[in-house]
Structure 1
Amino acid sequence: NSLRLHHRIHTGEKPFTCTECGKSFSQRCSLQLHSRTHTGHNPYVCTECGKRFSSNTGLRAHMRTHTGVKPYACTECGKFFSDSSTLRRHQNTHKAEKPFTCTECGKGFTLKDNLHRHHRIHTGEKPFTCAECGKSYSQSNNLIKHQMIHTGVKPFSCSECGKSFAFKEGLRNHQAIHMRRNHSAAQNVTECSL
């Protein structure tokens, strides 16, 4: 049976087809897992935020957004990622043709816009200015983040204690504290029960 499953890797045979959408799979269990996307059956629940998942793998990957753990490293540049799919997407940037080269440092880019954005590092250009306080940024996304300081909007709330944050990173760092405390408390309970 396992030899037949392995053989399907080479042949590309996918005999199990979803009756809802027509997508095919090489294993029955993969089809069963996929069918949950149609039924909405998500039995795996995140204890931190309550988000539900159809697979244990999905839940484990999601938990890393709370802990900040990034176990997947790019062998090309050493950058770390929280999940394998993001790592693979990143690795493609190393393989891609990079026709746009920085005349200052020689770094290559796949898109002209990315080269233009990078070039600001060398020129010090900061074209995105806050109308409220005059502070300038080289990238528009940094200005958008900064402006939340003036509005006082804190859209990211901790499900455990209710504390709010203007930035997702702030919430993630804060939740890591809860995770460490909860993990530490769980270890102490285990130690006491021995």
Structure 2
Amino acid sequence: MLERSSLIELEQLQLEGFTKVNTINTDRAAKSDRIIHEDVQPTPKIDAESESVSNEITDTDSSMVEFYQLVQELLLITLGLIGISFGCVWFFYSANIALNYLIGACAGLLYLRMLVKDVERLGSEKKQLSKARFALLIGLSVLASRLEQLEILPIFLGFLTYKITIMLYVIRTSLPSFLR
């Protein structure tokens, strides 16, 4: 009997404890609900440092947008020059030389893309440009010298097609300043 009465007392104590915990939790919830629903208006605090940081972020964003527009323009012009040059080489020379030119031009386009990725990472991740891009030109030259079907000069001239694009861009952007 003692065991049964002690079990009943224990259950009553647990129920009382549960009820007390529930009451405490309800009170806390009501207080937090009042705090949430009060009209508290935060005062905006903008100091000169945070404003300059936001200006730097905006300047960086606009610079990156300009960079991506320049990259897209250079890649499209390079693709156009490759197409025109490939057609001209095929018309005036043979299909083999035109394909050699195309191999070099595709390698030049890949080189330009690698250069863009390298410049893109320059400010945030790296402090200087990597030299791994040059392995592409060296590997292409070695491949052209080893295989009889490939000719070095058309491949090299095709590779330099992206340089023509850059020269055209520089001339186009600097020409208005010369006319002033």
TM-score for the superposition, normalised by structure 1: 0.23
TM-score for the superposition, normalised by structure 2: 0.24
Greater helix share, 1 or 2?
2
**Larger Rg over CA atoms:** 2
Greater strand share, 1 or 2?
1
